[in-house]
């Protein structure tokens, strides 16, 4: 009687996940000739695992957040950005050499400061007048370098660092910057262009006339 009471109590219990996993090991006592093993069709734990995986894969990728909750921008693919004067014929010779070399590296981002689309906001606040005074390069971390150091960084980016390697050391570094300074000061006159003051005035008038930049490019 005690065994039947216990068996009846067990029979009335609701099957739990633990009972389901134990069922394959329970052999029917009423039929010794046909011993059947029943397996759960959909284990609860497995169903929840699949659901969790599906939810994880269907969730949209959220942008990375900074410490203050601000969205973090992914680092640029280029190593250094070159600000160059597209109206300078001698300057463009060197720019074209670097552009050709850069095809195999994609390490330099070239920005023409003479373009109507040039924006100081996208280039560490460097306006047209400042960028025209001497060469500027912007590293991927935002550091601005000028003069001969800018050339050195640009050439290093395309595996031609040996060209300017000697300018790292004194007294060559000081001499090189001095020579470049003279060139930067008089490059407009040397290339047959008006002084910087006149170039700036002409650009200012153009900006005043072309309030709509689209009409200027037509």
The structure tokens listed for 137 are 């390069």
- Residue 190: which domain range? 80-217
Angle at 87 between CA 84 and CA 88, to 5 degrees: 70
| Prediction pTM value | 0.62
Residue 70 in any domain: the answer is: no
106 sits in the region (left: phi over 0; alpha: psi -120 to 50; else beta) called left
Cα–Cα nearest to 80, from 49, 52, 59, 111: 111
Residue 37 in any domain: the answer is: no
Residues 99/107, Cβ–Cβ less than 8 Å: no
Cα–Cα distance, 16 to 22 (Å, whole number): 10
Cα–Cα distance, 146 to 80 (Å, whole number): 12
| More confident of the two residues 211 and 99 | 99
**Number of domains within the chain:** 1
Answer yes or no: is pLDDT of 178 > 90. Answer: yes
Each residue's pLDDT tens digit, 109-148: 999 999 989 999 999 999 999 999 999 999 999 999 999 9
Q: CB-based contacts of 98: which residues, under 8 Å, 6+ apart?
A: 82, 108, 110, 154, 155, 158
pLDDT of amino acid 211: 61
Residue 41 in any domain: the answer is: no
Residue 129 in any domain: the answer is: yes
Residue 162 in any domain: the answer is: yes
pLDDT of amino acid 20: 41
Residue 18 in any domain: the answer is: no
Residue 160 in any domain: the answer is: yes
Residues 206/216, Cβ–Cβ less than 8 Å: yes
Residue 59 in any domain: the answer is: no
């Amino acid at each position: 009687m005690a065994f039947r009471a216990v068996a009846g109590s067990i029979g009335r219990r609701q099957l739990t996940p633990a009972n389901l996993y134990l069922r394959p090991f329970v052999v029917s006592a009423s039929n010794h000739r046909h011993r059947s093993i029943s397996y759960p069709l959909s284990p609860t734990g497995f169903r929840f695992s699949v659901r969790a995986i599906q939810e994880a894969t269907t969730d949209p990728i959220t942008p990375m957040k900074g410490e203050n909750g601000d969205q973090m921008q992914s680092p640029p693919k280029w190593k250094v950005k070159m600000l160059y004067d597209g109206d300078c014929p001698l300057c463009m010779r060197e720019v074209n050499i670097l552009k050709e070399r850069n095809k195999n590296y994609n390490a330099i981002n070239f920005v023409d400061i003479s373009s109507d689309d040039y924006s100081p906001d996208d280039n560490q606040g460097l306006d047209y007048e400042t960028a025209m005074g001497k060469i500027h390069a912007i590293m991927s971390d935002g550091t601005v370098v000028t003069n001969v150091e800018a050339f050195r960084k640009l050439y290093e980016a395309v595996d031609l660092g040996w060209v300017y390697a000697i300018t790292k050391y004194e007294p060559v570094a000081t001499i090189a910057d001095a020579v470049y300074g003279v060139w930067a000061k008089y490059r407009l006159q040397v290339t047959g262009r008006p002084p910087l003051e006149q170039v700036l005035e002409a650009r200012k008038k153009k900006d005043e006339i072309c309030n709509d930049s689209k009409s200027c490019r037509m």
